[in-house]
Amino acid sequence: MRGKARKEVLKEITKLVGRLGKSITIPPHPSIDAGAERLLGLTRIYACDPALGVPLEDLGFFSFHFSASDVAVLGAEPKMMTSTILLPEGADVELALRIARDIDYEAYRYGVSIVTGHIGWYKAVKEPVVVTTVIGEARNPITPTMARSGDILLLVGIPGAEFLYGVAHFKPDLIERIFGPHTVRRWKKTRWMLTAVDKARDLAMFTKVNGMKDGAEGGLIRMLNDFADASSLGFKIWRERILFPPEILRLSGSLGFNPLAASSSGTVLAAIPKSAPLGFLRELIESHGFVTSIIGELVSDPESRKIVEGDSLREFPEDAEDPYVLLLE
């Protein structure tokens, strides 16, 4: 096994909850990437993520945004965080300081207090790893359990952008030989696409949302299946409505992977009531620089997970290996 734990493992792990207090409102769940407790009229949201296998110059950025995104899609404002920076023996102190400064910069931008942490150099650590916990607050948290049959599935962001960012940094020749060096340079500079914090804020501000899920390893396959599991609903999506970058489609053909599985941090899948002014909502969100697409709808049967491809109605994949792991081999 490699990468994030599969559903069958998570189902077992999330049963191990210690002594669950009465204030816990969202306990560990295999399909929800954060937990919550209710305190004095506010809900506190907790999310924890590692950052590794990304370019070192962006490690601090991602260590903040991976966890903060999980908090934001539950309708919460990130407020506090902790960070653990683990480095190989002999790693430069300046690298540690750069990571810490980048975390500080992102935390300051979003009004988040860094309350504690840990940093160390260890023989067992082979590459820098940063683990953060972000704590947010919400009056009325948004969870996929609020979703209803008939809700529209709105995708905000660019699916597969995280994969292309990784290819541009780690295997640039795959893009350069087809699209040229300018495309490599462009995708190297797209880390700003790979956070869900601002997209989730926009959605919660502009419309009623019945649940959100941010993308990560496993792309749309994991996002849609996790959302369906968490909401106890099914879905029907249209493949032609998913706006993949052309580079993803070309690379998926030449490398033989399913673009639906391509890593997609920074994208947000949202369940929107049919009664919402969807056209106006998309205009508002797109005015902030984000791509939107209506890719499908939720259905009442939790076992019904379909994708329309051309004239064919097919079963949606339950799982697929994320092609991003090819970059780390």
Residue 110, domain CATH:
3.30.1330.10
What confidence tier does 5 reach under pLDDT thresholds 50, 70, 90? Answer: low
* Predicted local distance difference test score (pLDDT) of residue 70: 97
**112 within domain boundaries:** yes
- Cα–chain center distance at 33: 9
Q: Quick one: pLDDT band at residue 11, thresholds 50, 70, 90?
A: confident
* CA 74/CA 248 separation, integer angstroms: 29
Whether 157 and 131 map to the same domain: the answer is no
Residue 29: per-residue pLDDT: 84
Question: Are 123 and 225 within one domain?
Answer: no
Which two three-digit tokens encode residue 298?
Answer: 């939720």
Q: Identify whether residues 164 and 309 lie together within a single domain.
A: yes
Residues 191 and 47 reside in one and the same domain: no
Check residue 129 and give its pLDDT. Answer: 97
Which of 138, 169, 191 is a domain's end point?
138
Quick: pLDDT tens for 136-166. Answer: 999 899 999 999 999 999 999 999 999 999 9
Question: In terms of pLDDT, which residue wins out, 12 or 198?
Answer: 198
| Among 113, 138, 163, residue at a domain's last position | 138
Lowest mean pLDDT among 223-227, 243-247, 324-328: 324-328
Over residues 79-111, the pLDDT tens digits come to 999 999 999 999 999 999 999 999 999 999 999
- Residue 3: what pLDDT? 64
Query: SS in 3 state form for the chain?
Result: CCCCCCHHHHHHHCCCCCCCCCCEEECCECCECCEEEEECCEEEEEEEEEECCCCHHHHHHHHHHHHHHHHHCCCCEEEEEEEEEEEECCCCHHHHHHHHHHHHHHHHHCCCEEEEEEEEEECCCCCCEEEEEEEEEECCCCCHHHCCCCCEEEEECCCCHHHHHHHHHHCHHHHHHHHCHHHHHHHHCCHHHHCCHHHHHHHHHHCCCCCEEECCCCHHHHHHHHHHHHHCCEEEEEHHHCCCCHHHHHHHHHHCCCHHHCCCCCCEEEEECCCCCHHHHHHHHHHCCCCEEEEEEEECCCCCEEEEECCEEEECCCCCCCHHHHHHC
Same domain, 170 and 317: yes
Q: Flag whether pLDDT at 1 surpasses 60.
A: no
Predicted pLDDT at 135: 98
- Give me the mean pLDDT over the 35-39 stretch: 91
According to the model, what pLDDT value does residue 19 have? 87
Is residue 320 domain-shared with residue 181, that is, in the same domain?
Answer: yes
Average pLDDT over residues 57-61: 97
* Count of beta carbons in the 10 Å neighbourhood of residue 8: 8
Last-in-domain residue among 122, 138, 154: 138
Regarding whether 133 and 201 lie in a shared domain, the answer is no
* 3-state per-residue secondary structure call for 20-54: CCCCEEECCECCECCEEEEECCEEEEEEEEEECCC
Quick one: 163 and 78 in the same domain? no
Q: Is the pLDDT of residue 41 over 90?
A: no
Q: Average pLDDT for residues 222-230, to the nearest whole number? A: 96
152 within domain boundaries: yes
Domain count along the chain: 2
Percent of the chain with pLDDT over 90: 81
In this structure, are 177 and 309 located in the same domain? yes
CA 116/CA 100 separation, integer angstroms: 12
1 lies in some domain: no
Query: Cα(135)–Cα(80) distance, rounded to whole angstroms?
Result: 5
Give pLDDT tens digits for 286-328.
Answer: 999 999 999 999 999 999 999 999 999 999 999 878 887 766 5
What residues does 48 pair with on adjacent strands?
133
Which residues constitute the domain of residue 63?
7-138
Same domain, 131 and 84: yes
- Mark whether 204 and 322 lie in a shared domain: yes
Which strands sit side by side in the sheet containing 35-39, from one edge to the other?
24-26, 35-39, 42-51, 129-138, 77-88, 113-122
| 212 and 127 within one domain | no
Cα gap 214→232, rounded to integer Å:
18
> Which CATH number goes with the domain that contains 309?
3.90.650.10
CB 104 within 8 A of CB 170: no
The pLDDT-based confidence of 134 (bands split at 50, 70, 90) is very high
- Statement: residue 52 has pLDDT above 70: yes
